[in-house]
Amino acid sequence: MTTIRGRSIGSGRGSGTAVVTRMPINFAASYITPMNAFFPSRMWDRHHELYRTDLKGKVLVMANCVGSTYSGIVLQGLIRLRIAPAAIVTQDADPFIVSGLVISEVWFHGGLPIVEYRGDDLFERIRTGDRVDVDADSGELTIHPASS
């Protein structure tokens, strides 16, 4: 078990199995597809390595967001529908992810634990399958490696 500390962006706590991707995520392309009619919590970006992965209840460990300025509203929709990841650890809290979170918090009372960890060692420390506890109030990430 290791603990690392990042910067708190959202608030609250969340834990779950880590899904790690170095590829930037385009929320708009991932969640606004016809397939989301049947599997709304899966991401359906054909160009992404997480294609078809169900992120609900997982801890998403990602680099940053790319794509449309609509991304924030998509994230807000996910939080409101309660199909968002349990927590997000991002290397870069960019305007897309922050705007979605803030609109959700202020207007819809739906927060999400989001922690920014800028170090490049993020992807060595957390691997897909590890169990991660995210405490977004203190910015603390507790990692329980899957192998041990």
Q: Which residues bind another protein (CB under 8 A)?
A: 7, 9, 11-12, 22-24, 26, 28-29, 31-38, 40-41, 45-48, 63-64, 66-74, 76-77, 80-83, 91-96, 98-100, 102-111, 118, 120, 123, 137
Q: Please, what is the minimum distance in Å from the beta carbon of residue 1 to another protein? A: 25
Nearer to another protein, 43 or 132 (CB): 43
Nearer to another protein, 33 or 148 (CB): 33
What is the C-alpha to C-alpha distance for residues 85 and 16, in angstroms, rounded to an integer?
9
What is the C-alpha to C-alpha distance for residues 136 and 34, in angstroms, rounded to an integer?
33
What is the C-alpha to C-alpha distance for residues 52 and 72, in angstroms, rounded to an integer?
21
Written as one letter, the residue type at 61 is V
Sequence-distant (6+) residues with CB within 8 A of 21 are 48, 49, 50, 60, 61, 62, 63
Nearer to another protein, 135 or 147 (CB): 135
What is the C-alpha to C-alpha distance for residues 63 and 111, in angstroms, rounded to an integer?
20
Q: Please, what is the minimum distance in Å from the beta carbon of residue 81 to another protein? A: 5
Length of the chain: 148
Nearer to another protein, 78 or 148 (CB): 78
Q: Please, what is the minimum distance in Å from the beta carbon of residue 132 to another protein? A: 18
Q: Please, what is the minimum distance in Å from the beta carbon of residue 68 to another protein? A: 4
Q: Please, what is the minimum distance in Å from the beta carbon of residue 6 to another protein? A: 11
Q: Which of 125, 47, 50, 118 is nearest to 85 (CA)?
A: 50
What is the C-alpha to C-alpha distance for residues 1 and 143, in angstroms, rounded to an integer?
5
